[in-house]
Chains A and B, each alone.
Chain A
């Protein structure tokens, strides 16, 4: 037996392919940790901002750890995104607040047969059950990154509904869902 640094099941990723990553697939292939090699600049490109939050959301869903640094002030209200993996400590606006508020299980959803259960304790504790057939059918479109001007009316209606509850993030024409799907329960299982 030798003692040495491990390479571990982690991967370093540069900025070029960042928003194309599929954390769920990466996790299923054995990856447990993703290190973003370059600081992430947010606030300059609406579509990138939304796609980046989707990446964080999907990583949280499977507990794929993401190590990232903010390269700019954060263009999101930390209270809105505090359930997602925060950046490393840094002087940028919003970073400290995001890190302070963050913990596991603050805002997630679960799928069932013909319904969705949402739990949002980012601020006060809220539980929702979504069982409207059309809303449930539109849900996956918002789980992806939706371009709202081209979206179907039902998707836009659902987006407005969720926006009122601070459950989607919208940047310009782009939107995606904020709660992550609870694919892995924590230990203890009833702590969230």
Chain B
């Protein structure tokens, strides 16, 4: 049996400061299967290096990052390379129309496109330099067109080299559509590659068609065949430890080394434990594999500490879609005990307790992405989010107290939502300005694999491949309907003045946040609240009556007046209904509470992080 030479490729617009997790995983998988190599080709770094060198530094890493981070929903990254794949002029006019119509700044994308042809050619030659037998491309988000362009060039120069595509963009019907529309792609791996890719390599080595390898797309003669997907997701014990050695070696010798601060990317779980039972209606991120699987805590700690020590890097991006709740007690305390100055990112569910937030902080988690999505309980119910508005605001408050950077979006456009769901939120935004604002308020998108997509009866019956794909793929609509991830549909939910008011409120929130604090202090005499929020009078409040101090503590959980009275009674304290109501009105008037229906939440934080204006 001849040993296959394998090259794994990640193309733009993979993030520059992270190694590719898929390449790291598949490298380990190949090695564990006893295969030599495989080579890794970091096409994203090579593209950024190429632009930097060819333009004398005029197009730099920051320009790459701009496209990589902000171009996804306009297909800008794919567009840069589409001329190489579909013909030099393809997409130019359509793109120009699109950016004009949507008032989009494409950044340096137009300048970059002029270099795409030369780079694709160079990339193909560099990959072929090591004479691989199989070239595997990992493709997610805007990596399709750059990957296809290089795969086509490889086939032109070396027709016997086998080309394989895999990754998130190949999940389900998308992979089958890629395979049947681009004949220079020999195989497409759908689903998790750790088990499928080695099985495909085995079949190639045996010279047999991969007819029994789950999920693989292959050709019988001229006909594209898509094998049925695996039914069972990979058990967490079989998710390998990624091998990032090649990427770190490359970066160390890169002319961009001084511009890029390397980070580690790890996964401790796949799938979503919330989505298994109640998938959020707009979310398609887990693709066809929702089942939640997390690595045993010991393994996650060992993996993280081992890679930190090996690569001497303290920044760690955990790519899990949601943290395993057991990790708050089994993993995070171990990381905290290390006393290393880590900087970790985690995605979490929004209904965090204070103890959980403290566990994150102590473990040196610096950035969380809780799925807040809305501050209206009714809208959260429509999207099946499993939290209410009070809980979301409470999480924002407690993350602020814990110095955690908190990234979230405010989504709207859900079928069944109404103006009256939003006006109470808009009215209360001025009281929230000391908490971290959303990155944006934006209408939801129709994503493949989301309940909104799979169940037209939820309100998005009419759908068509998103307009952005017209400047990305030279394919008929019926093929795009299988190939793409985003769809255009009829707008739902709120519109008009309430949308404008919502955007204005968020804009004001962003402007006021940096200079706004609302902090409560405990002392033996009671509670003090110092209000220094932009747009509010400078005030220092004191609460000294022990009954009201106890009531304030209840408000920090979020309670109705009746629940507060019940809890006080349990503590042996008494307050009349009218007195409590008057006091709540007083706090409300001062903007110290968030109201949701008949419940109230105290808004003051217990600490203020160091804020940096960016």
Contacts and interface: CB of A to CB of B under 8 A. Distances in A.
Interface stretch (B140-148, B337-345, B446-454, B496-504): B337-345
Interface stretch (B2-10, B153-161, B347-355, B537-545): B537-545
Nearest to B315: A190
B611 interface: yes
Interface of A: 1-9, 32, 63, 103-105, 109-115, 117, 125, 127, 129, 131, 181-192
Nearest to B257: A127
A4 B343 contact: no
Interface string B298-330: 000000010011001010000000000000000
Given A113-B338, A188-B614, 12 more contacts: A1-B541, A3-B539, A6-B540, A8-B521, A109-B341, A110-B340, A184-B403, A184-B609, A187-B400, A188-B367, A188-B405, A189-B367
Contacts of B523: 7
Closest 5 CB pairs of A and B: A110-B341, A189-B366, A191-B612, A185-B366, A186-B610
B305 A3 contact: no
B587 interface: yes
Interface centre among B530, B540, B548, B590 (most CB of A within 10 A): B540
B436 interface: yes
A1 B548 contact: yes
A18 B583 CA distance: 44
20 contacts: A1-B541, A1-B587, A3-B539, A3-B541, A4-B542, A8-B530, A32-B607, A105-B612, A111-B339, A112-B314, A112-B340, A127-B261, A185-B343, A185-B403, A185-B405, A186-B403, A187-B400, A188-B612, A189-B404, A190-B405
B493 interface: no
Interface in B242-282: 258, 261
Contact of B341 (A1, A8, A105, A181): A181
Nearest to B263: A190
Contact of B540 (A5, A104, A131, A184): A5
A110 B263 CA distance: 14
Nearest to B525: A7
A60 to B, nearest CB: 9
Contact of A112 (B308, B400, B607): B308
Contacts of B543: 1-2
B586 interface: yes
Contacts of B521: 6, 8-9
A7 to B, nearest CB: 7
A3 B403 contact: no
Given A32-B607, A184-B403, A185-B366, A111 B586 contact: no
Contacts of B366: 185, 189
A90 to B, nearest CB: 24
A8 B606 CA distance: 11
B540 A187 contact: no
A190 B312 contact: no
Contacts of A117: 312, 314, 341
Interface in B99-120: none
B504 to A, nearest CB: 23
A122 B542 CA distance: 42
Nearest to A130: B312
Contact of A189 (B258, B405, B540): B405
Interface string B586-614: 11001000000000000000010111101
B143 to A, nearest CB: 23
Given A185-B343, A186-B612, A112 B309 contact: yes
B198 interface: no
Interface centre among B366, B436, B539, B607 (most CB of A within 10 A): B366
Interface string B173-187: 000000000000000
B367 A6 contact: no
Nearest to B368: A189
A27 B308 CA distance: 28
A125 B611 CA distance: 21
A1 B542 contact: yes
Given A1-B542, A105-B612, A186-B611, A110 B405 contact: no
A6 B612 contact: no
B436 A6 contact: no
Contact of A111 (B340, B345, B614): B340
B528 interface: yes
B259 to A, nearest CB: 9
B530 A6 contact: yes
Nearest to B345: A189
A187 to B, nearest CB: 5
Nearest to A9: B521
B57 to A, nearest CB: 15
Interface in B458-512: none
Contacts of B583: 1
Interface centre among B338, B405, B587 (most CB of A within 10 A): B405
